[in-house]
A and B are shown apart, each in its own frame.
Chain A
Amino acid sequence: AQSVTQLGSHVSVSEGALVLLRCNYSSSVPPYLFWYVQYPNQGLQLLLKYTTGATLVKGINGFEAEFKKSETSFHLTKPSAHMSDAAEYFCAVRGSNTGKLIFGQGTTLQVKP
């Protein structure tokens, strides 16, 4: 069984500040981990993914995430927030032989001027 927990349903940062969105997972098989972003009234866009190999993965728009097996975490970071980063962010997990994504509850990122 797999599950995802995103700590903090709402995160507010100032423009230019560090963004940190937390994600912890539970998986009985080696996990494949993903971060998706959803802008208002739009679809889900893949930010980045971890499958195998390097545990620090870089994605689009300056985001990156690090897979830490010992902590069962896959936190999303960005050094400097931009107003356009305001959106809903979903962490998701799946196994290697299935496309069924299990999503976390989502974190709304607010960026203040």
Chain B
Amino acid sequence: QSALTQPASVSGSPGQSITISCTGTSSDVGSYNLVSWYQQHPGKAPKLIIYEVTKRPSGVSNRFSGSKSGNTASLTISGLQAEDETDYYCCSYAGRSTPYVFGTGTKVTVL
């Protein structure tokens, strides 16, 4: 099972919106509405920010939103803030034999 493909980097100015893509296959992203997104600051553990493609855990800012079309999931950060500058990873359920596959990771830069 190969890693999901994410752009290495995405940048935007404060207040703007950016979108991070996460491309998989018909065996993972395309087959299940079980894509999650994680925010990871340097030296810290990942933090869940989106689950089941579009849902936000309690306490996560509504500036984070998720969507999916076909084999590609997306994370949108609206009203970009300096604190959003860090790494983001997607993850998809991929079936019983290899339940979870992560994305390659995207570094978000706030210009």
Is chain B a partner of chain A in the same complex? no
> Which B residues lie at the A interface, using CB under 8 A?
none
> Which A residues lie at the B interface, using CB under 8 A?
none
